[in-house]
Structure 1
């Protein structure tokens, strides 16, 4: 089932998400719904808070970027109870967007590499290192688990300049091809 995307301004996007266990209600269905929702919305990643659930889960599929980074061929993963344990390397800037902030892209500076611990959809534990585009997308989705939006990484001046645009988005002044939830 395609779930509605939670839009900037909704309180669930600012909560620190909770760990879950394998007995989480309807987990298999929710995992399938996350994939279906992400693909329907043309996303590269989607975190559970973005569909209204404050749990530590996100999905991503970076395989469309394999032309630039061949190691991303078939890179499709689910992260449950993820914890970034280290961020290293040179910081670099790249334009980012977000399904929860439709129509807005901003340059965000992030470290080049990360180490992360997580469980996959089969509850197998992983400790892995990523760099480049994969590390960027993981950090973006991980931020959602921490109640952080990509615009929080902008400079204070840029945040002031974005304020009216973000207020408009929170009130539904945007265009999106997917269903969404606004704060009430």
Structure 2
């Protein structure tokens, strides 16, 4: 029997949307109802993220254009950060800008060197409507920026330029999971 205090233990694993799906490329809507449906969505997001072995997941990655994401992510000192943010806003970035490997559950098996700030602060609410402020450094800062980008309709490949972008989009088109329509809809600069 599952224990309800473990995030995702009462959630359902939802199908993942892949690169090119229109829901990944449009800004998400603010959440206005902090109710049981939102609590269940957060549970489903955790269950789906854990099933896919990810460290973060935004609602539009499971097809719902709503501003909420979950995370279970270490920072560079291997401290675990676990939680969720509803209606997140990236309010601060800083530190050095680092190009590091970045992947995405909506582009399974692929990653590319993506530039992100080493520090990030996100403000929003928890699933009951209480204000939250989440600060991260290193890998966790990358996660916060990545998930907030998702909710703004940005996939990490949109941040790539030049040859990195061309190579990443080519790899996505050739991936086993790629269908001809969704990936061909993505903007390719070549």
TM over 0.5: yes
Which consecutive unaligned segments of at least 5 residues does structure 1 have? 176-181
The structure 1 residue matched to 2:54, chosen from 23, 39, 43, is 43
CA gap of 1:128–1:26, structure 2 versus 1, over 3 A, is closer
Deviation at 1:24, TM superposition (A): 6.0
Q: Is the 8 A contact 1:119 1:126 kept in 2?
A: yes
The structure 2 residue matched to 1:118, chosen from 112, 124, 134, is 124
Match of 2:188 in 1: none
Say if 2:105 is the partner of 1:99. yes
Deviation at 1:94, TM superposition (A): 1.3
Taking the aligned partners of 2:123 and 2:34, their CA distance within structure 1 comes to 20
Taking the aligned partners of 2:103 and 2:152, their CA distance within structure 1 comes to 17
CA RMSD of aligned residues (A): 2.2
CA gap of 1:23–1:29, structure 2 versus 1, over 3 A, is same
Count of residues paired in the alignment:
170
The structure 1 residue matched to 2:27, chosen from 16, 41, 47, is 16
The structure 2 residue matched to 1:108, chosen from 106, 114, 133, is 114
Match of 2:77 in 1: 69
- Bigger RCO of structures 1 and 2 (CA < 8 A, at least 6 apart): 1
| TM-score, normalised relative to structure 1 | 0.84
Match of 2:149 in 1: 143
Say if 2:169 is the partner of 1:166. no
CA distances 1:82-135 after superposition (whole Å, capped 9, x unpaired):
001121111012111111001111111111112221101232102343222211
SS at match of 2:177: coil
SS at match of 1:103: coil
Match of 1:179 in 2: none
SS at match of 1:102: coil
Which consecutive unaligned segments of at least 5 residues does structure 2 have? 1-11, 186-190
SS at match of 1:152: helix
Taking the aligned partners of 1:158 and 1:95, their CA distance within structure 2 comes to 11
State which drifts further: 6-15 or 85-94.
85-94
Q: Is the 8 A contact 1:103 1:174 kept in 2?
A: no
Taking the aligned partners of 1:125 and 1:116, their CA distance within structure 2 comes to 11
CA gap of 1:42–1:128, structure 2 versus 1, over 3 A, is closer
Match of 1:55 in 2: 66
